[in-house]
């Protein structure tokens, strides 16, 4: 079982990287309503990342706060799952990624809210209210796109297919998350049935993010996200 530091750093990195990904939609989403929704989901995730990384820094005891952990670590030091670092692609691909992640995150935060560690459970109790909305929002869009036009359906299928290979990493036994798989499978199957879509076929899992083995996409994301801290070390606002 992962230590509290490891657990907090993984959860913080997941939220931080996906929040950064969603921020890339600002000003580019297909409708103003969607632009605002994705931006707000991204802000929720950044807020969660702040709390989890702050806890990780306190547990580590080396004087690193949430900002230091977010902006002064190299790519190999990040422990986010590979799913959240994948590029946005089109709107359907972004929704597929959010759908898979948020349904998992809601189950996990519900469990964390009941954790024996008070500092961790407090973060989970607050986050579960946010991620319940994230999961519902993404699930509703999966149904709209899947049961919509021929093109929207094709794009939704392609989005799910591109993201499905990263799903198994979410249920790493080291995080105690393996027990969440049956409930997650049921959620996903119910939504896809409502969307007249098939559950993607099993495929060889792609893993490694939890051990610092990332895709090429994370390095590019961090280059943009960490630019100011790297270019002007020690800067204060």
> pLDDT, tens digit, for every residue of 99-123?
999 999 999 999 999 988 899 999 9
Distance (Å, rounded) from C-alpha 1 to C-alpha 171?
Answer: 13
4-231 carries CATH number 1.20.1260.10: yes
Residue 99: burial class (beta carbons within 10 Å; 0-12, 13-18, 19+): buried
What secondary structure does DSSP assign to 126-178, as a single string?
HHHHHHHHHHHHHHHHHHHHHTS-HHHHHHHHHHHHHHHTTGGGGG-GGGT-G
Distance (Å, rounded) from C-alpha 11 to C-alpha 58?
Answer: 15
> pLDDT, tens digit, for every residue of 115-171?
888 999 999 999 999 999 999 999 999 999 999 999 999 999 999 999 999 999 999
Distance (Å, rounded) from C-alpha 59 to C-alpha 62?
Answer: 9
3-state secondary structure of 10: helix
Average pLDDT over residues 52-73: 96
**Side-chain half-sphere of 18: how many Cα atoms within 13 Å?**
33
Q: How confident is the model at residue 29 (pLDDT cuts 50, 70, 90)?
A: confident
- Predicted confidence (pLDDT) at residue 235 exceeds the cutoff of 80: no
Average pLDDT over residues 76-101: 98
Q: What angle do CA 18, 90, 223 make, to 5 degrees?
A: 45
Distance (Å, rounded) from C-alpha 122 to C-alpha 132?
Answer: 16
Distance (Å, rounded) from C-alpha 226 to C-alpha 67?
Answer: 10
In the numeric block, the tokens 């079982």 are attached to 1
Distance (Å, rounded) from C-alpha 105 to C-alpha 41?
Answer: 13
What secondary structure does DSSP assign to 183-219, as a single string?
HHHHHHHHHHHHTT-PPPPP------GGGT---HHHH
> pLDDT, tens digit, for every residue of 37-62?
999 999 999 999 999 999 999 999 99
- Predicted confidence (pLDDT) at residue 1 exceeds the cutoff of 60: no
Do the beta carbons of residue 130 and residue 105 sit within 8 Å?
no
């Amino acid at each position: 079982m992962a230590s509290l530091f490891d657990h907090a750093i993984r959860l913080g990195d997941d939220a931080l990287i996906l929040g950064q990904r969603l921020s890339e939609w600002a000003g580019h989403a297909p409708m103003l309503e969607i632009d605002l929704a994705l931006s707000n989901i991204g802000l929720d995730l950044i807020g969660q990342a702040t709390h989890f990384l702050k806890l990780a820094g306190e547990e580590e005891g080396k004087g690193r706060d949430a900002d230091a952990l977010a902006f002064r670590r190299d790519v190999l030091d990040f422990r986010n799952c590979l799913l959240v670092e994948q590029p946005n692609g089109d709107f359907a691909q972004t929704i597929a990624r959010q759908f898979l992640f948020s349904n998992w995150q809601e189950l996990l935060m519900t469990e964390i809210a009941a954790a024996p560690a008070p500092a961790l459970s407090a973060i989970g109790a607050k986050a579960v209210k946010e991620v319940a909305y994230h999961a519902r929002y993404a699930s509703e869009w999966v149904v709209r796109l899947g049961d919509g036009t021929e093109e929207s359906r094709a794009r939704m299928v392609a989005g799910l297919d591109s993201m499905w290979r990263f799903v198994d990493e979410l249920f790493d036994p080291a995080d105690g998350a393996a027990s969440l798989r049956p409930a997650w499978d049921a959620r996903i199957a119910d939504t896809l049935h409502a969307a007249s879509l098939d559950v993607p076929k099993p495929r060889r899992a792609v893993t490694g993010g939890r051990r610092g083995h990332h895709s090429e996409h994370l390095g590019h994301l961090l280059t943009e996200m960490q630019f100011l801290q790297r270019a002007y070390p020690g800067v204060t606002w």
